[in-house]
Amino acid sequence: LSALSVLALSGFVAPAAFAESSIEQKTAVVSSTLNRSTSVQLTPNGLVSSAFRGSYINQGIPSSAQLHHAYATGRVTAEDLVRVAIAQGQLSPDTLSDSGFIRTVETKLSSLDD
């Protein structure tokens, strides 16, 4: 009788353990996918705002009015800002080839003095 009880119980325990490990695996896959797709991605406005606030001073990007002056004189380009943000994991490396993103950053930089 005890052997039958053990067999009967193992029929319930094994599928439950399998289901639990399967759920854990699926959760890990979904979590990994979400983490990759939800990494920090700045907008052009967010990138320029971060630079303006001084977030990239340690990388040689000036803040405030000096940022506009550096852009106007060619010392800092939109691509420079994008490269710094890529290096800090705030933008995807693909952003550097996104001409629309770069143009919008240029527009935001040129309007800092307004």
For residue range 80-99, list pLDDT tens digits in order.
999 999 999 999 999 999 99
Q: What is the pLDDT of residues 4-42, one digit of tens each?
A: 555 555 555 555 555 555 555 544 444 444 444 445 689
Task: Quote the pLDDT of residue 16.
Answer: 53
3-state helix, strand, coil in the chain (%, to 5): 75, 0, 25
In this structure, the answer to whether residues 94 and 56 fall within a common structural domain is yes
In this structure, the answer to whether residues 34 and 75 fall within a common structural domain is no
In this structure, the answer to whether residues 31 and 73 fall within a common structural domain is no
In this structure, the answer to whether residues 52 and 101 fall within a common structural domain is yes
In this structure, the answer to whether residues 65 and 25 fall within a common structural domain is no
Q: Which domain holds residue 6?
A: 1-38
The domain tally of the chain equals 2
CB 40 within 8 A of CB 89: yes
In this structure, the answer to whether residues 54 and 90 fall within a common structural domain is yes
In this structure, the answer to whether residues 50 and 89 fall within a common structural domain is yes
In this structure, the answer to whether residues 23 and 74 fall within a common structural domain is no
In this structure, the answer to whether residues 48 and 70 fall within a common structural domain is yes
Sign, Cα dihedral of 52, 55, 57, 61: negative
